[in-house]
Amino acid sequence: MSIVKLTEEQELIQKTARDFSVNEIKPVAAMYDREGRFPREIIDKLGELGFLGIMVPEEYGGSGFDCLTYVIALEEIAVSCASTAIIMSVNNSLVCDPILAFGSEKQKRSHLPDLSSGRRLGCFALSEPEAGSDPASMRTSAVKRGKSYIINGSKSWITNGAEADTGILFAATNHSKKHHGISAFIIDMDTPGVKIGKLEHKLGIKASSTAQIYFEDCKVPDTALLGEEGDGFKIALATLDGGRIGVAAQAVGIARAALEEAARYSKERKAFGKPISNFQGLQFMIADMATRIEASRLLTWQSAVMKDRKENYVKKSAMAKLFSSETAMWVTTKAIQIHGGYGYTVDYPVERFFRDAKITEIYEGTSEIQRNVIARETLKEIQ
């Protein structure tokens, strides 16, 4: 299947994720989407399977696998439900990962076991109403008072925001220092002064919540600081480098689901007296869909392997996210085309895949931001 030979353990995780996805997520995914309901029961089971802290070492209560194993599992989950996949991806990549990479020993021991098991769910609060692609312009502030910080401001587009128990929050501790004045905190979402605002009514990933969060004189202990004061911007970008691998895997899963549905449909549906899969025009679509998905997966796996090897994967994760998300959008569009009018109805799942695909080109850095990152790194490399 690929140049990467999976270990027996990785194949087992892939099978476990696939079986769970097919048996327990696929039958209910359309219902959760239609009702816009958070799939709490599924997330609890993902916790039991060890899928919420896949890369967290066992000593901190996680599964202790590498990033490649993580993306393999995430793709399988995304094939059935992109909403579930992003809930899982945020918890692993955007919450557990920065605590593991930048947290103190005490922070790792106190937060990671609950986050890995699903006893607590995490969110990543970086974006603001007027600071998405340009997080350095954030307005949320954290002012030091004795042994505490007082946080004021608002965050938007926060996946898991309404359900999360633990948040990775970014706030300016010194506005005059611009991006060097941003700090990261691990906060308890039950802290007085944290208020969940409006939930977005979205085009897709409707089973995952996307919330606004307000902070009104929210007092957190200085022990909540993640890394040093002023490290926040670096922590956010380094975390997003990893998050983008997760979104890439999610996009590969969505695209694969669309291809599988389209291929099956094309073999059943007849026109002009034969299955439409017999027509070359349609075969060319299937060929391009399969090829783009394979290339997306290779980029995704490559960036995961580079992360595991502790190589610089900034450019590769941006490439993986860019290519996979645009592939997901393209493949889901073709899947609807192959289904004709039926694909445009809620009676077939491809319309959900199409709606879900779009967000992968937007969150954790838009396609335009990924191109900025790729160009910046490429121009640095070529002298």
Q: Which residues are tagged catalytic?
A: 364
- Find the largest Cα–Cα distance for the chain: 79
Read off φ and ψ for residue 138, nearest 5 degrees. Answer: -60, 150
Whether residue 147 contacts residue 222, with contact meaning beta carbons closer than 8 Å, is answered with yes
State the minimum distance, in angstroms, from the CB of residue 140 to ligand COS.
13
Q: Which of 18, 37, 139, 179 binds ligand COS (CB under 6 A)?
A: 179
State the minimum distance, in angstroms, from the CB of residue 241 to ligand COS.
5
Q: Which of 38, 60, 265, 363 binds ligand COS (CB under 6 A)?
A: 363
H or E element in which residue 226 lies:
strand 225-226
Q: Find, among 104, 133, 46, 117, the residue nearest to 371 by Cα.
A: 133
Q: Which region, judged by CB under 6 A, interacts with ligand COS, from 38-46, 53-61, 201-209, 233-241?
A: 233-241
Amino acid at 372: N
Whether residue 36 contacts residue 207, with contact meaning beta carbons closer than 8 Å, is answered with yes
Q: Which region, judged by CB under 6 A, interacts with ligand COS, from 145-153, 245-253, 271-279, 363-371?
A: 363-371
Read off φ and ψ for residue 38, nearest 5 degrees. Answer: -65, 130
Query: CB-wise, 135 or 204, nearer to ligand COS?
Result: 135
State the minimum distance, in angstroms, from the CB of residue 245 to ligand COS.
13
Q: Which of 82, 187, 240, 304 binds ligand COS (CB under 6 A)?
A: 240
Q: Which of 234, 269, 358, 371 binds ligand COS (CB under 6 A)?
A: 234
Query: CB-wise, 149 or 170, nearer to ligand COS?
Result: 170
Query: CB-wise, 84 or 370, nearer to ligand COS?
Result: 370
State the minimum distance, in angstroms, from the CB of residue 123 to ligand COS.
11
Whether residue 161 contacts residue 197, with contact meaning beta carbons closer than 8 Å, is answered with no
Angle at 220 between CA 50 and CA 242, to 5 degrees: 40
Does residue 126 bind ligand COS (CB under 6 A)? yes
Residue of minimal Cβ distance to ligand COS? 365
Does residue 313 bind ligand COS (CB under 6 A)? no
State the minimum distance, in angstroms, from the CB of residue 34 to ligand COS.
25
Instruction: Return the structure tokens found at 167.
Output: 């948040």
Please, what sign has the CA dihedral across residues 237, 201, 356, 210?
positive
Instruction: Return the structure tokens found at 157.
Output: 């587009």
Taking the C-alpha atoms of residue 350 and residue 339, their distance in angstroms, rounded to an integer, is: 8
State the minimum distance, in angstroms, from the CB of residue 157 to ligand COS.
6
Read off φ and ψ for residue 198, nearest 5 degrees. Answer: -70, 145
Query: CB-wise, 309 or 376, nearer to ligand COS?
Result: 376
Does residue 135 bind ligand COS (CB under 6 A)? yes
User: Checking phi first, is residue 217 left (phi over 0); if not, alpha (psi -120 to 50) or beta?
Assistant: left
Q: Which of 123, 314, 322, 336 binds ligand COS (CB under 6 A)?
A: 314
Whether residue 283 contacts residue 263, with contact meaning beta carbons closer than 8 Å, is answered with no
Does residue 68 bind ligand COS (CB under 6 A)? no
- Using CB under 6 A, list all residues that contact ligand COS: 126-127, 132-135, 179, 233-234, 237-238, 240-241, 314, 363-365, 369, 372-373, 376
